[in-house]
């Protein structure tokens, strides 16, 4: 998790530490044990950190709102596409068309009893 400038960062690799500077966050993103990053709401910093995360080739989960406008979303999506990482927002799962198909598939009593 990368939050505001003085927030606790949990890299998902079993350790938590407090980082107070940008270099510390970037160093954390260099950790090969971290595959994905969660960016909590902090819209003023979202685009900056989303691009950095993508450039470090880490998958990205962001909370809504992910950006202040469509241009900012485009910047994030392009950075993720260029670096071959997955971008998801906190509302994607519920509103994705695949979710309804998966529910339909899993509700099939002939397949799953």
* Average pLDDT of span 7-33: 63
Check pLDDT > 60 for residue 70. yes
Domain 8-112: assigned CATH number = 3.40.50.720
Check pLDDT > 60 for residue 13. no
pLDDT in tens, 43-66: 778 899 999 999 999 999 998 888
Domain boundaries, the chain: 8-112
pLDDT bin (cut points 50, 70, 90) of residue 2 is: low
Distance separating alpha carbons of residues 40 and 33, to the nearest angstrom = 20
User: Bigger pLDDT: 36 or 19?
Assistant: 36
Distance separating alpha carbons of residues 79 and 58, to the nearest angstrom = 11
42 contacts 81 by C-beta, under 8 angstroms: no
* Average pLDDT of span 87-94: 78
* Average pLDDT of span 2-26: 52
Check pLDDT > 60 for residue 79. yes
């Amino acid at each position: 998790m990368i939050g505001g400038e003085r927030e606790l960062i949990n890299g998902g690799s079993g350790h938590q530490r407090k980082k107070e500077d940008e270099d510390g966050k970037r160093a954390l993103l260099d950790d090969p044990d971290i595959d994905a990053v969660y960016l909590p709401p902090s819209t003023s910093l979202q685009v900056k950190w989303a691009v950095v995360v993508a450039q470090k080739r880490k998958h990205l989960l962001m909370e809504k709102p992910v950006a202040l406008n469509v241009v900012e979303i485009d910047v994030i999506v392009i950075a993720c596409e260029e670096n071959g990482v997955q971008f998801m927002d906190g509302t994607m799962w519920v509103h994705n068309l695949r979710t309804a198909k998966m529910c339909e598939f899993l509700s099939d009593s002939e397949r799953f009893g």
